[in-house]
Amino acid sequence: MLVPDPKVVRRLLTRYASLQIARAERGGPAAAARELEDVSYTLCVLMGTEGVREAIARADAMLASGASGASGASGAHGKTGVSTAVRFSPVSPGINTEVCEGA
- Per residue in 32-55, pLDDT tens? 889 999 999 999 999 999 999 999
Q: How far apart are CA 8 and CA 6, in angstroms?
A: 5
- At 96, the amino acid letter reads N
Taking 50 as the threshold, does the pLDDT of residue 87 lie above it? no
User: 61 lies in a domain?
Assistant: yes
User: 56 lies in a domain?
Assistant: yes
Number of domains the chain contains: 1
pTM of the model: 0.65
Residue 23's domain comprises 1-93
Q: How far apart are CA 80 and CA 35, in angstroms?
A: 28
User: 38 lies in a domain?
Assistant: yes
